[in-house]
Amino acid sequence: MGRKYFGTDGIRGQVGVYPITPDFVMRLGYAAGKVLARERCTLKPGEHPVVLIGKDTRLSGYMLEAALQAGLCAAGVDVRLVGPMPTPAVAYLTKALRLQAGIVISASHNPYEDNGIKFFSSTGEKLSDEIEHAIEAELERELVTFSSDELGRVKRIDDAPARYIEFCKSTFPFEQDLRGVRIVVDCANGATYHIAPSVLHELGAEVIPINHQPNGTNINDHCGATDTAHLSAAVLQHKADFGIALDGDGDRVMMADANGRIYNGDQLLYVIARYRKDTGKLKGGVVGTLMSNLGLQHALGRLAIPFVRASVGDRYVLEMLAQHEWQLGGEASGHLLCLEKHTTGDGIIAALQVLHALRETGTSLAGYTADLHMYPQTMINVQVDKYVDLKSASIQQAVVEVEADMGDHGRVVLRASGTEPLVRVMVECAEAAQAAAYAERVVKAVRMVAKG
């Protein structure tokens, strides 16, 4: 059964356009409160469920936070506010404080005009499909406010940033530090602006923060993990050893070396996996996605590290990790999961794992990834007016022919967008020009089918 409102990462859209409106978000808070109260059976009689709310730095966060509070309180749920905090911080605090759920108001890497709502369970994990279905079902029912003496109350947790900073530091070996290391950190004018610099500074690094002055509208604005030009330039300008770029809600990371060269999620995942393999700390294998670079797969194979692909989205990476009982996975976009450290993807913690590996081995990012040869990728978004059967004979024939030409040195990925009338065609192979030419062959077949 499909979900009406929830996507792969909560509910997201343009502010002021349904469903990201105050009235809907209030009803969402009420529905979530009712469902989560039922899910938590350990509450004592008369005891209220407690839900934590965090947000990123978007101006619309104030409005949506107030709407969520109203809905939750109307359902008899107490609320704890932490203000601007990274998404993984909300997951951690929800679990650490033994609360019933955590809610993040964020649209992650999207521009400030968008916003969204993400949920975490009491264990700091994303909600199951069953609970999301239950919340959607509750949304269809009438909102009936609890009696005045049963309404929820709201309190603020003032020391939330300090708690999370200490948690991040705890994932870095106590016997190691970052003294003598100069690091530029790009906070994307987002939720990590008051967290990431402090974590790195308290571990001993000389920290140069950039894009750390959010004003409500500059989140992800030509900065952070989705636009790393500023990071490269700042690393060179300040003669830094490393650069770290996070996205607006802190669950993605990209890094730069001293030459300003950018390393994406696939490359950083390789560093962590290789180090753990070399030190006997890798449990099982690595989970990537359909979009993970073929070069990563081949490089891990040379190290005898098992590799499997999940559907695109950290939600599906997490599900695949649980299925295999592994700990390490991620996406090229910078969502990296180290499940022995945290229950969800965390940009700061992932960066710390990379820095630990490099400090321990005394190598550079370039040196440690020298055996990782990334394949050029060509991505083309094909605009369509109607549903396109990607399994149609002509499309599959084009794919088979292209993959036969490439052999083991390339692949084709076709995906229909879940939010736009697009078919995404991705081809990767050893040569960039060949990837582009092969992609055009597949695109031609898709367009022919789309025209009918």
Q: Which residues are catalytic?
A: 108
Residues 185/242, Cβ–Cβ less than 8 Å? no
Alpha-helix residue ranges (DSSP H) falling in 241-346: 265-278, 294-302, 314-324
User: What are the Cα distances from residue 319, in Å, to 29, 129, 325, 330, 362?
Assistant: 26, 12, 10, 12, 34
How far is residue 290 CA from its own chain's centroid? 16
- C-alpha 452/C-alpha 333 separation (Å) is 34
Q: How far is CA 242 from CA 1, 86, 176, 358, 433, in A?
A: 46, 22, 17, 11, 31
Is the separation of the CB atoms in 268 and 220 below 8 Å?
Answer: no
The two structure tokens encoding residue 429? 């192979």
The full DSSP string for 31-42 is HHHHHHHHH-TT
Strand order in the sheet with 242-246: 206-210, 182-186, 242-246, 253-256, 262-263
Residue at 417: amino acid letter:
S
Evaluate the omega torsion of the peptide bond into residue 111 and state whether it is cis, within 30 degrees of 0: no
Q: Give CA angle at 218 (248, 119), nearest 5°.
A: 30
**How far apart are the C-alpha atoms of 86 and 43, rounded to whole Å?**
28
What is the DSSP pairing of strand 154-156 with strand 78-84? parallel
Q: Hey, how many other C-beta atoms are within 10 angstroms of the C-beta on 238?
A: 15
Q: Are 106 and 55 in contact (CB under 8 A)?
A: yes
Q: Which tokens belong to 280?
A: 């006997």
Q: How many CB atoms are located within 10 Å of the residue 239 CB?
A: 8
